[in-house]
Protein backbone atom coordinates (compact mmCIF):
# COMPACT_ATOMS: atom_id res chain seq x y z
CA UNK A 1 0.00 0.00 0.00
CA UNK A 2 2.87 2.36 0.60
CA UNK A 3 4.51 1.76 -2.77
CA UNK A 4 3.56 3.20 -6.12
CA UNK A 5 1.90 0.87 -8.61
CA UNK A 6 3.68 2.67 -11.42
CA UNK A 7 7.01 1.28 -12.53
CA UNK A 8 9.22 0.76 -15.57
CA UNK A 9 7.73 -1.31 -18.37
CA UNK A 10 10.79 -3.56 -18.61
CA UNK A 11 10.11 -4.77 -15.07
CA UNK A 12 6.46 -5.48 -15.79
CA UNK A 13 7.13 -7.15 -19.13
CA UNK A 14 9.62 -9.51 -17.47
CA UNK A 15 7.05 -10.89 -15.02
CA UNK A 16 5.85 -14.44 -15.52
CA UNK A 17 2.99 -16.38 -14.02
CA UNK A 18 5.43 -18.19 -11.72
CA UNK A 19 6.73 -14.82 -10.43
CA UNK A 20 3.20 -13.78 -9.50
CA UNK A 21 2.36 -17.15 -7.94
CA UNK A 22 5.54 -16.99 -5.86
CA UNK A 23 4.74 -13.46 -4.72
CA UNK A 24 1.17 -14.32 -3.76
CA UNK A 25 2.13 -17.51 -1.90
CA UNK A 26 4.83 -15.75 0.14
CA UNK A 27 3.01 -12.47 0.86
CA UNK A 28 -0.71 -13.29 1.03
CA UNK A 29 -0.43 -15.19 4.31
CA UNK A 30 -2.28 -14.98 7.61
CA UNK A 31 0.63 -13.19 9.27
CA UNK A 32 0.30 -10.32 6.79
CA UNK A 33 -3.47 -9.88 7.14
CA UNK A 34 -5.85 -8.13 9.48
CA UNK A 35 -9.55 -8.90 9.85
CA UNK A 36 -11.50 -5.93 11.17
CA UNK A 37 -15.20 -5.35 11.67
CA UNK A 38 -17.26 -2.48 12.98
CA UNK A 39 -20.82 -2.03 14.01
CA UNK A 40 -23.44 -4.11 15.77
CA UNK A 41 -22.12 -7.59 14.99
CA UNK A 42 -21.95 -10.74 17.08
CA UNK A 43 -18.53 -12.20 17.81
CA UNK A 44 -19.69 -15.69 16.86
CA UNK A 45 -20.89 -14.45 13.45
CA UNK A 46 -17.57 -12.72 12.79
CA UNK A 47 -15.59 -15.84 13.74
CA UNK A 48 -17.78 -17.98 11.46
CA UNK A 49 -17.35 -15.54 8.57
CA UNK A 50 -13.58 -15.37 9.05
CA UNK A 51 -13.31 -19.16 9.21
CA UNK A 52 -15.42 -19.67 6.08
CA UNK A 53 -13.65 -17.04 3.98
CA UNK A 54 -10.07 -17.13 5.31
CA UNK A 55 -9.81 -20.61 6.80
CA UNK A 56 -7.63 -21.86 3.95
CA UNK A 57 -5.04 -19.08 4.17
CA UNK A 58 -1.54 -20.35 4.97
CA UNK A 59 0.14 -19.22 8.18
CA UNK A 60 3.33 -18.18 6.39
CA UNK A 61 6.91 -18.15 7.58
CA UNK A 62 7.76 -16.31 10.80
CA UNK A 63 9.44 -12.95 10.26
CA UNK A 64 13.23 -12.93 10.51
CA UNK A 65 14.66 -11.76 13.81
CA UNK A 66 16.13 -8.27 13.81
CA UNK A 67 19.93 -8.29 13.71
CA UNK A 68 20.21 -5.14 15.82
CA UNK A 69 17.92 -3.14 18.02
CA UNK A 70 16.04 -0.55 15.94
CA UNK A 71 17.02 3.05 16.57
CA UNK A 72 14.19 4.98 18.21
CA UNK A 73 13.98 8.56 17.13
CA UNK A 74 11.20 10.50 18.81
CA UNK A 75 9.32 13.06 16.79
CA UNK A 76 6.75 15.72 17.50
CA UNK A 77 4.35 17.54 15.23
CA UNK A 78 2.22 20.33 16.61
CA UNK A 79 -0.63 21.66 14.50
CA UNK A 80 -2.95 24.22 15.98
CA UNK A 81 -6.23 25.14 14.39
CA UNK A 82 -8.52 27.22 16.58
CA UNK A 83 -11.37 26.76 14.09
CA UNK A 84 -11.76 23.17 15.31
CA UNK A 85 -13.64 24.40 18.38
CA UNK A 86 -13.46 22.80 21.80
CA UNK A 87 -12.53 19.35 20.46
CA UNK A 88 -9.13 17.86 21.28
CA UNK A 89 -7.45 15.11 19.28
CA UNK A 90 -4.63 13.59 21.29
CA UNK A 91 -2.08 10.94 20.39
CA UNK A 92 0.50 9.60 22.84
CA UNK A 93 3.38 7.26 22.07
CA UNK A 94 6.47 5.89 23.74
CA UNK A 95 9.16 3.32 23.24
CA UNK A 96 8.28 -0.07 24.68
CA UNK A 97 9.56 -3.62 24.78
CA UNK A 98 9.20 -5.84 21.68
CA UNK A 99 5.88 -7.65 21.45
CA UNK A 100 7.53 -11.06 21.97
CA UNK A 101 9.52 -9.92 25.00
CA UNK A 102 8.82 -11.71 28.30
CA UNK A 103 8.40 -8.22 29.78
CA UNK A 104 5.48 -7.40 27.46
CA UNK A 105 2.11 -7.27 29.16
Residue 18: what pLDDT?
93
Residue 86 belongs to some domain of the structure: no
Does the residue 105 lie in any domain? no
CB 101 within 8 A of CB 66: no
User: 66-77: per-residue pLDDT in tens?
Assistant: 778 777 777 777
Instruction: Among 24-28, 48-52, 75-79, 99-103, name the one with the lowest average pLDDT.
Output: 75-79
55: left (phi over 0), alpha (psi -120 to 50) or beta: alpha
Q: Report the pLDDT value the prediction gives residue 26, as an integer from 0 to 100.
A: 86
d(CA 54, CA 28): 11
Q: Is 105 helix (H, G, I), strand (E, B) or coil?
A: coil
pTM of the model: 0.45
Q: What number is the average pLDDT over the span 40-50?
A: 94
Q: Which residue range forms the structural domain that includes residue 35?
A: 9-64
In a domain, 80, yes or no: no
- Over residues 3-31, the pLDDT tens digits come to 556 656 667 778 889 999 998 888 888 88
Based on the structure, what is the number of domains in the chain?
A: 1
Asked, for residue 79, whether it belongs to a domain, the answer is no
Q: Are 97 and 103 in contact (CB under 8 A)?
A: yes
Query: Is residue 88 included in any domain, yes or no?
Result: no
Full 3-state SS string of 18-64: HHHHHHHHHHCCHHHCCCCCCCCCCHHHHHHHHHHHHCCCCCCCCCC
Residue 70 lies in a domain: no
Amino acid sequence: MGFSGVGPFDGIEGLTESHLQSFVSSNYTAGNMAFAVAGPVKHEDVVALAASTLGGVKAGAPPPAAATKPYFCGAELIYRNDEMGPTAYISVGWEGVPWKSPDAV
